[in-house]
Chain A
């Protein structure tokens, strides 16, 4: 449908021109008529409003000239919505055209009718559509199949009442591959917008039909079918393997989108295969070459491929571990391709290829594109942290780069050197002198904060540490919070190391932080230090100068459950954004998150027991907190995986289902729904209403209106996965018991050590919710212990209008 470009709204066709066109449209001469319609369409194309000609154009509809008919249809699609009453005039012709002996016209009519989103017209569409779905010509049937999806979008109830969905399902068995493909596409589309409709009832018979059609339909049809297959969960590893075998030939298709959709199916079904199966290894080997070839496609497709490869190497690093070279950056690559390649290079870096990688990174760091250079410098630091043997070389490369005195290179280098110090303490302090020389040139907060951290951490070895830190103190209030916090800590460290000379300095910073600052974080930290120092200097030393845990090897890994979900969305926007669809698609919040099927083999964990490999450590998926990850996975498996017999997927009413959601997309956000955000400073009375509204949304209960207030409490969902909470998993919900709002939480200690001293702090929120009392936790919480806590809340806290609460942080000192 075309709509006039608003910029051109002012350019109304002058009445004289309209009048002329009107006359021509009503001419007896066919040629003249056609030319007139063309003129009308031309005006429409440049954004002029020609809706006044509606009746005259519709009058031209009854013609045996196909081209003229198409133009009139085009006009109708554009203006019918603004003139619904007039559009009815066209219905008769549409209905007649649907019975035309020429299949082109029948298809055209049914296709166009579906595009006219006017309720009154849709009623008349049913009968013609029913006939067209059973038309003898496949061209008409394939068009009618898509029309069902169109109609469903306008009036879902009508489509169900008319039984079109069943006819559509029947078309999956059609003899013509193109009809099958469009039927699959239409059904998938409907199923996607109605996640609970249980439409795509995939069973082995349908799967077999789809796989047969896969060999015969167009490249686009292949994509529809592959994307649909990806939603199926095979019954066992044998079925999984046989589907994989029939999908792998698609990896040789010239169309990149076919290849990526095939990769999606394979990556998903591979989860079901036992790792010791020969076929599993064969499949792994088959995946690498087509992924590499995607990098010869057009840049936009390369970009999509690279974003997906980034996910694939996190899930199955072994696939591309030998393909480092293809990710080397070319001078003429677009910047978005360069940045993605760089990211993958670091993920693939290992002891075996580190020399090459470093040489490349050094080359990139002397380029001119600022973002790219920064990322290259950062990459060198990440290599140092990832591959211990290379750390020394990385540090010397970074020093070389600092010598270039290119401002942003120096700053970036200092930031990563700080991380290197965190990973390898007491090893590279010899470079501190060089770093200090560049102190004055640092103007970015992150670099300043990093430098200050280094000075504080190694204060005892820097003769003029006090002078250096003091120089920052002058403009304390102009610094960003990050720098202020770091400066405070660094000076306290310095004081603890050299108490005699720095008393004045520490007092100065403490008073700056506590008395002259409005920032609560800074103030709080200042007070803590102050009290520590004044009450028990020995304890202060133990706390502030405590040995820090080493930072982990891999940074910026995608959280495992999200990664699983994204693997199910290979090739789609979600895989490009690295976000679940619920984070950017409206109305999809209640939609079930996709998960990878669990292995039915021996119930192994994800890590491949690929022990014989030479590259060693880089083989296994990088472990953040491995044991918990598996634990979480197992838990979810137990509770969530639908029974092995593939019946209809369970309706998403089980509370644990939400456990698989990430916090951003699901969790609190969806529970509290939009109603919450719209009602700032909600009073307790209105509290539960939006909750049930949100629940409706979530569970599609429909009849939520009659639900007694407070009778239903939303099930607990995981607010803070162990992965993010340093081993502490928090699930929780809000409930109203005896008229009091409570936050009910389950705390699970998934770390190795005992946890003590729990406290809770509420950020300011839109509803003024705050704890009515302190958090009571029976401490300590030993490993694997679970505890239930209820925290009474009130709504008298400070109100701050904000987006729905959607994150939690785990804190530790």
Chain B
């Protein structure tokens, strides 16, 4: 059904740790993985699935590690990849950073986790907060207090333990919208969308019931309310804690939240957004002598708002040299290892326009290798503002002890995958 065994390999393909769940695939098969991967890389045909005879390797890479699942059945591939990423998430929460050293230093816990995360190829408990209640890094602590299965593991509410206590009950809500834009070299917007995310930091006692109200157009239409600006969410994805059937029937977002930080939901909005920072560029390449770059950045958002930490990244040929810059504001820097000019503007008010010029020399002997046409990319953050106009109208918090709790809301818009193609 899913994985027969899971391996963690270093960059050379050496097994750091592994767990055989089903015993139907020879563990030595893993030796074929790295040579095959390298062969595929050479041929330019990398694929997330590699097969060798009747064995299939499904793999992901994380920092200096490969996580590989083997199978010889018609496994559920999407489940396997989701699970591999879940392992990364759990290990990262346990060891802060997941890399070769953290695996080697913590092999006992890694074994325990692998034993608990999956059984006979079926993923089991993968919520790291709950796992931390009974698989701890210090065995001594475990002996005394936590030698019992937390009921949470098998509860319908498998993401929150009972008996959580806070002196002050608060919830922090972050609404973060990322703008994805793809602009063609001739300046037309090929595609654009907004991916929003609502993140919670919950500091609430007991087992609180929460309800989140948004200015969701479908909800307003259902309830017959017709006031103010509403937002059409194309697609919504929820954390395990949200009652999906309830949302499906009456668009109510109701849930018992996980403790601490979590992503409650994400949504996608398809509306055509005006690129908040518009870039016009002229890149002229004079073979064997120089490249001249002129970039104009314009803030296409309200005057009252300010975009922070703006970075405009302009690609330059890999053999360019002796950079010279001129900027009307901010700072331009050449990053040769990435073949980029990075133009940084700490604070970029709406409606303003800035200019950057760059000049590079080119060697007289031309580079033979063809280079791709990387796009200009832009990074920014605009606080106190969402492009879509989405709003948290209320957050109701009900707990049987009857405490009062305060929700805090923060809005921010940022760049997502923000690409502008160039002519060169």
Partner of A370 from the list B44, B74, B156 (CB cut-off 8 Å) is B44
14 residue pairs from A and B, CB less than 8 Å apart: A1-B20, A2-B27, A5-B14, A102-B148, A115-B120, A137-B149, A182-B122, A185-B1, A189-B120, A252-B237, A331-B373, A336-B45, A363-B421, A573-B56
From A286-294, A450-458, A746-754, give the one contacting chain B: A286-294
Find out whether the CB atom of A41 lies under 8 angstroms from the CB atom of B74. Answer: no
Judged by a CB distance under 8 angstroms, whether B374 is at the interface is yes
Within 8 Å CB of A550, what residues of B? none
Find out whether the CB atom of B107 lies under 8 angstroms from the CB atom of A298. Answer: no
Find out whether the CB atom of B111 lies under 8 angstroms from the CB atom of A328. Answer: no
Within 8 Å CB of A7, what residues of B? 14, 31
Find out whether the CB atom of B111 lies under 8 angstroms from the CB atom of A300. Answer: no
Find out whether the CB atom of B244 lies under 8 angstroms from the CB atom of A301. Answer: no
Within 8 Å CB of B371, what residues of A? 368
Find out whether the CB atom of B1 lies under 8 angstroms from the CB atom of A188. Answer: yes
Find out whether the CB atom of B235 lies under 8 angstroms from the CB atom of A293. Answer: yes
Consensus secondary structure, chain B interface = mixed
Find out whether the CB atom of B78 lies under 8 angstroms from the CB atom of A224. Answer: no
Judged by a CB distance under 8 angstroms, whether A54 is at the interface is no
Known: A45-B17, A104-B147, A571-B77. A3 touches B28 (CB 8 A): yes
From B79-87, B342-350, B391-399, give the one contacting chain A: B79-87
Interface string of A53-79 (1 = CB under 8 A from B): 000000000000111101100100100
A-facing residues in B62-117 (Cβ within 8 Å): 71-79, 81-85, 107-108, 111-112, 115
Find out whether the CB atom of B1 lies under 8 angstroms from the CB atom of A189. Answer: yes
The complex places the Cα of A234 from the Cα of B257 at a distance, in Å, of 36
User: Which chain B residue lies CB-closest to A406?
Assistant: B370
The complex places the Cα of A632 from the Cα of B153 at a distance, in Å, of 50
Find out whether the CB atom of B74 lies under 8 angstroms from the CB atom of A574. Answer: yes
Known: A185-B1, A289-B234. A335 touches B27 (CB 8 A): no
The complex places the Cα of A799 from the Cα of B419 at a distance, in Å, of 60
Within 8 Å CB of A5, what residues of B? 14-15
A-facing residues in B210-261 (Cβ within 8 Å): 234-240, 242-245, 247-248
A-to-B contact residues, CB < 8 Å: 1-3, 5-7, 34, 38, 41-42, 45, 47, 65-68, 70-71, 74, 77, 102-104, 107, 111, 114-115, 117, 137-139, 142-143, 146, 149-150, 153, 176-179, 182, 185-186, 188-189, 192, 215-220, 223-224, 227, 246, 248-250, 252-257, 260-261, 289-290, 292-293, 296, 298-301, 303-305, 325-326, 328, 330-332, 334-336, 356, 359-360, 363, 366-371, 569, 571-577, 581, 584-586, 588
The complex places the Cα of A5 from the Cα of B255 at a distance, in Å, of 47
Within 8 Å CB of B373, what residues of A? 331, 366-368
Find out whether the CB atom of A331 lies under 8 angstroms from the CB atom of B238. Answer: no
Known: A3-B27, A114-B120, A192-B1. A334 touches B158 (CB 8 A): no
Partner of A138 from the list B74, B107, B154, B419 (CB cut-off 8 Å) is B154
The complex places the Cα of A71 from the Cα of B119 at a distance, in Å, of 17
Judged by a CB distance under 8 angstroms, whether B417 is at the interface is yes
Partner of B82 from the list A66, A255, A360, A576 (CB cut-off 8 Å) is A255
| Most chain A C-beta atoms within 10 Å of own C-beta, residue among B142, B158, B185, B374 | B158
The complex places the Cα of A148 from the Cα of B245 at a distance, in Å, of 32
CB distance from B106 to the nearest CB of A (A): 11
CB distance from B399 to the nearest CB of A (A): 21
A-facing residues in B147-177 (Cβ within 8 Å): 147-149, 153-154, 156, 158
Instruction: Supply 19 further A-B pairs (C-beta < 8 A) apart from A111-B115, A254-B237.
Output: A1-B20, A2-B19, A2-B27, A6-B31, A66-B139, A102-B147, A107-B149, A185-B122, A188-B1, A223-B76, A224-B122, A246-B245, A252-B248, A256-B82, A331-B421, A334-B46, A356-B190, A369-B372, A584-B54
Judged by a CB distance under 8 angstroms, whether B363 is at the interface is no
CB distance from A376 to the nearest CB of B (A): 13
Partner of B119 from the list A143, A176, A574 (CB cut-off 8 Å) is A143
Judged by a CB distance under 8 angstroms, whether B266 is at the interface is yes
Within 8 Å CB of A137, what residues of B? 149, 154
User: Which chain A residue lies CB-closest to B248?
Assistant: A249
Judged by a CB distance under 8 angstroms, whether B39 is at the interface is no
The complex places the Cα of A65 from the Cα of B140 at a distance, in Å, of 9
Find out whether the CB atom of B77 lies under 8 angstroms from the CB atom of A215. Answer: no
Find out whether the CB atom of A293 lies under 8 angstroms from the CB atom of B268. Answer: yes
The complex places the Cα of A3 from the Cα of B31 at a distance, in Å, of 13
Find out whether the CB atom of A3 lies under 8 angstroms from the CB atom of B77. Answer: no
The complex places the Cα of A692 from the Cα of B85 at a distance, in Å, of 47
Within 8 Å CB of A139, what residues of B? 149, 153-154
Within 8 Å CB of B74, what residues of A? 569, 572-574, 581, 584-585, 588
Within 8 Å CB of A303, what residues of B? 47-48
Find out whether the CB atom of A328 lies under 8 angstroms from the CB atom of B190. Answer: yes
Within 8 Å CB of B23, what residues of A? 1, 115, 117, 153
| Most chain A C-beta atoms within 10 Å of own C-beta, residue among B14, B119, B185, B263 | B119
Please give me the 10 A-B residue pairs with the lowest Cβ-Cβ distance, nearest first.
A289-B235, A67-B139, A249-B244, A581-B74, A1-B20, A249-B248, A220-B123, A138-B154, A257-B78, A300-B48
Judged by a CB distance under 8 angstroms, whether B327 is at the interface is no
Find out whether the CB atom of A67 lies under 8 angstroms from the CB atom of B143. Answer: yes
The complex places the Cα of A605 from the Cα of B19 at a distance, in Å, of 49
Within 8 Å CB of B265, what residues of A? 254
Find out whether the CB atom of B247 lies under 8 angstroms from the CB atom of A252. Answer: yes
Find out whether the CB atom of A290 lies under 8 angstroms from the CB atom of B120. Answer: no
User: Which chain A residue lies CB-closest to B18?
Assistant: A2
Find out whether the CB atom of A290 lies under 8 angstroms from the CB atom of B235. Answer: yes
Find out whether the CB atom of A573 lies under 8 angstroms from the CB atom of B143. Answer: no
Partner of B244 from the list A47, A215, A223 (CB cut-off 8 Å) is A215
A-facing residues in B298-318 (Cβ within 8 Å): none
Partner of A331 from the list B22, B79, B247, B419 (CB cut-off 8 Å) is B419
Find out whether the CB atom of A296 lies under 8 angstroms from the CB atom of B108. Answer: no
Known: A220-B126, A253-B240, A367-B372. A576 touches B49 (CB 8 A): yes
A-facing residues in B267-281 (Cβ within 8 Å): 268
Partner of B78 from the list A249, A289, A305, A328 (CB cut-off 8 Å) is A305
Within 8 Å CB of B122, what residues of A? 146, 182, 185-186, 220, 224
Within 8 Å CB of A305, what residues of B? 78
Known: A3-B27, A70-B115, A293-B268. A253 touches B237 (CB 8 A): yes
CB distance from A512 to the nearest CB of B (A): 35
Partner of B372 from the list A142, A189, A331 (CB cut-off 8 Å) is A331
Find out whether the CB atom of A585 lies under 8 angstroms from the CB atom of B73. Answer: yes
Partner of A254 from the list B112, B263, B419 (CB cut-off 8 Å) is B263
CB distance from A362 to the nearest CB of B (A): 11
The complex places the Cα of A293 from the Cα of B233 at a distance, in Å, of 12
The complex places the Cα of A585 from the Cα of B46 at a distance, in Å, of 22
A-facing residues in B177-229 (Cβ within 8 Å): 182, 184-185, 190-191, 195
Within 8 Å CB of B18, what residues of A? 2
Within 8 Å CB of A572, what residues of B? 74-77
Known: A289-B235, A331-B375, A368-B372. A252 touches B244 (CB 8 A): yes
The complex places the Cα of A215 from the Cα of B19 at a distance, in Å, of 31
The complex places the Cα of A151 from the Cα of B255 at a distance, in Å, of 39
| Most chain A C-beta atoms within 10 Å of own C-beta, residue among B24, B46, B108, B421 | B108
User: Which chain A residue lies CB-closest to B47?
Assistant: A336
Find out whether the CB atom of A573 lies under 8 angstroms from the CB atom of B49. Answer: yes
| Most chain B C-beta atoms within 10 Å of own C-beta, residue among A305, A356, A585 | A585
Within 8 Å CB of B239, what residues of A? 254
Within 8 Å CB of A246, what residues of B? 245
Judged by a CB distance under 8 angstroms, whether B51 is at the interface is yes
The complex places the Cα of A356 from the Cα of B148 at a distance, in Å, of 61
Judged by a CB distance under 8 angstroms, whether B287 is at the interface is no
CB distance from B313 to the nearest CB of A (A): 12
Partner of B182 from the list A45, A111, A253, A328 (CB cut-off 8 Å) is A328
Judged by a CB distance under 8 angstroms, whether B124 is at the interface is yes
Within 8 Å CB of A260, what residues of B? 78
The complex places the Cα of A264 from the Cα of B304 at a distance, in Å, of 48
Find out whether the CB atom of A176 lies under 8 angstroms from the CB atom of B154. Answer: yes
Within 8 Å CB of A2, what residues of B? 18-20, 27
